[in-house]
Structure 1
């Protein structure tokens, strides 16, 4: 096995987009929690598929389609290994959002009934709230909010324990918050939920980038993530489900590839995971996601996370004493820093940073309930990735200070 390393200069060289300028300033990209930049191995993988080996998968008998199918299924194996899962338990999706909707509309719609409860944390991304509201309307089940400790932006586990009961059939929880970087105690949550007979759906979109995930060790029932936050392209992601759950679930979409035989008298569906993958899949995306994982596996991930934690600390130290600036739910060692400035709209701050070449996110971050709990309309979020540098953070601090002076 090749030894893993972490050399920042070498890493930055494989991200061509980092060499761009915006508004006449060298780009400092600090919005990786929204989507990560793409390394050359991923870019080249996509180009290779479309320029020299394009073919559909699981269809036809010619050599190109056989090669594409083999690569496609090898990519599934790479994702399965990445999650500590079996290949038959990994379903290709367009991302975490589609995966959560699939679970809600297939598993949830066939199992939930009036009076059942779906317990969801207050800090969830909309993608892990809205699908459950839709299926609750369809089945008569009830969505129950599990509140947070607003001072620390952590899940209120005492309240969770009270709300978790025999009516709870599904617990939907984010592994790591996209706004504050809060790492939920999903190991404990899964154990508690299973003790009450509930299944647990984990949104891992922010987590798989920053920590090793072993779904078997977690005993997660479902685990989902998106490729675009993991240095892969948009439009590809994965759903892990326990084999017995996937086998019990009906297909969500109908069409080609997910059937064994179709007649007007009825349809015989393929086994899982194929029965959930109707139509021509995002072959290039699947191959590129596997390539992104292969590339990540060449890096010393502990060193990468230590580097990110150092940059986060540098940023916090540089802005914490700015007048009227409030840090939101700061989690030491996380990859994000969220803040507000009293009397100033968050988008005004982000616009002034953009004018100085600093790309950050402002708004509600697809987390309206969390914003409501914190009694704010939105905030600025700086999100750090392994390719960022101390100079990036220095420029960000200077830009924030200048923006605050102007505003």
Structure 2
């Protein structure tokens, strides 16, 4: 990248946006915090924090079950959040939005419910080799129960999924293709629309793990035509403990309940039970009401910013970070696919990622180290893990400059001492 290109900045006002996130304005080990661990969890704007406080101060009540004012207010906000999420991802109707505890539970729900009713011995489930453990293990569990197999879709050394190999793997025994929209470990943006098309042409369903995509890009599930799309609130500026399962209504209607308990029933007797309609059939027990309402506030926040400018700002950050890190000797980038978002993974020759991460933390720079719950791709690449800096629209070039300064000091301490 040319010096002139590096000097170019987008029109997005990240400094103004940062004012909305109170946690960013603190010191860690006596240094101003630089938060570059957004792939693990994003920080929360004041509006989301306030939504949680307001619920517990003013509206705390169970939903759907009370005839009093607090219950009515809580239920209205709870269901408004469902409508907001449906609109955000362009679901056909709000009942296609199921509340869960996170991406992991959403995938477990589909694997257990759809898998128990649809899989038979000899069936195949294809999962990309770069997946998070949450999009591998649930499929292995249900496959073991049903006599099916889980097979990896090859990924090359740059972190690019091999579409030709996927096409060759697809046959009439493949029942599900599961793939991440964006890799949490490498930042690869997968061609999910094409993956869905190929799966459907072979008669298979397709689940997309969107946990890493929701904060970086717009998602239109009808345009993708995916059968299931899953994500977590905490990775898109909402609270922890809340997740979303989008599923096509016809598929969800045909699937048996995942758990039994309150809310998911229409009537119960010892002679038998009739289950509730969508979406409540899959929402047993009292949910995280405050968290769901706060997710609604996070959606409002996202809808209130210029997403095009934010995406351009993030692309600029990734390009700038890659260029700056490449200036350092002894750096190896891990994951260099043509299409990436939000993540820069790398290694420093002669060091262990954990040691580097600890030294960066002492300088106020927060990154993630390890295999990032993506051990199969790390094993394929022959490495124990990486140093992962992950970006969001509230990050700045100054944050990246601080990262590079901290890396220089860490390298001097670990390698050149």
Could you say which TM-score interval applies, normalised by the shorter chain?
over 0.9
1:302 Cα deviation (Å)?
A: 1.3
Q: Structure 1, residues 256-301: CA drift from partner, whole Å, max 9, x if none?
A: 0111111011111001110100000111111111111111111111
TM norm structure 2:
0.95
Aligned to 2:209: 203
Alignment of 1:36-47 (within 5 A): 36-47=42-53
User: TM-score, with normalisation over the residues of structure 1?
Assistant: 0.97
Question: What CA distance in whole angstroms lies between the structure 1 residues aligned with 2:329 and 2:412?
Answer: 10
Are 1:105 and 2:112 matched, yes or no?
yes
> 1:6: Cα distance to partner?
4.2
206-215 vs 313-322, which deviates more? 313-322
- Residue 176 of structure 2 aligns to a residue in which SS? strand
The one of 221, 224, 239 aligned to 2:227: 221
**Larger CA deviation: 65-74 vs 33-42:** 65-74
**1:275 and 2:275 matched:** no
Paired residue for 1:83, among 76, 85, 89?
A: 89
Shift of 1:323: 2.3
After superposition, give the CA deviation of every residue in 1:118-147 in whole Å (9 maximum; x if it has no partner).
000000000000000000011000001111
The answer on whether the counterparts of 1:308 and 1:333 sit within 8 Å (CA) in structure 2 is no
Deviation for aligned residue 1:225: 0.4
**Given the alignment of the two structures, is residue 396 of structure 1 paired with residue 403 of structure 2, yes or no?**
yes
Aligned counterparts of 1:261 and 1:333: Cα–Cα separation in 2? 49
Partner of 2:369: 362
**Gaps (5+ residues) in structure 2?**
1-10
Superposition map of 1:7-406 within 5 A:
7-85=13-91, 86-150=93-157, 152-331=158-337, 334-406=341-413
> CA shift at 1:403, angstroms?
0.9
Q: Which structure 1 residue ranges, 4+ long, deviate > 4 Å from structure 2? A: none
Check conservation: 1:6, 1:299, Cα contact below 8 A: no
Deviation at 1:29, TM superposition (A): 0.3
- Counterparts of 1:13 and 1:306 in 2: how far apart (Å)? 20
SS in 2 for 1:343: coil
Measure the CA separation in 1 of the matches of 2:237 and 2:163: 33
Secondary structure in 2 matching 1:32: coil
Whole-Å Cα distance in 2 between the matches of residues 22 and 15 of structure 1?
A: 16
Question: d(CA) in 2 for partners of 1:25 and 1:321?
Answer: 24
Cα deviation, residue 333, structure 1 = 5.8
| Partners of 1:96 and 1:319 in 2: CA distance | 31
Question: SS at the partner of 1:155?
Answer: coil
CA distance in 2, matches of 1:146, 1:333: 19
Please give the secondary structure, in 1, of the residue aligned with 2:67: coil
Deviation at 1:10, TM superposition (A): 2.1
Q: 1:145 is paired with a residue of what secondary structure?
A: strand
| Secondary structure in structure 2 of the residue aligned to 1:148 | coil
Contact preservation (8 Å) 1:319, 1:401: no
How far apart, CA to CA, are the structure 2 residues paired with 1:375 and 1:333? 21
Give the deviation of 1:179 after TM superposition. 1.1
Unaligned runs of 5+ residues in structure 1 are none
Cα deviations by residue, 1:15-37 (Å, 9 ceiling, x for unpaired): 11001111111100000110001
For residues 43-72 of structure 1, give each alpha carbon's deviation from its aligned partner in whole angstroms, at most 9, with x where no partner exists: 000000011110100112111111111111
Structure 2: how far apart are the matches of 1:330 and 1:395? 23
Task: Report the CA distance shift for 1:24/1:132 in structure 2 as closer, same or farther (over 3 A).
Answer: same
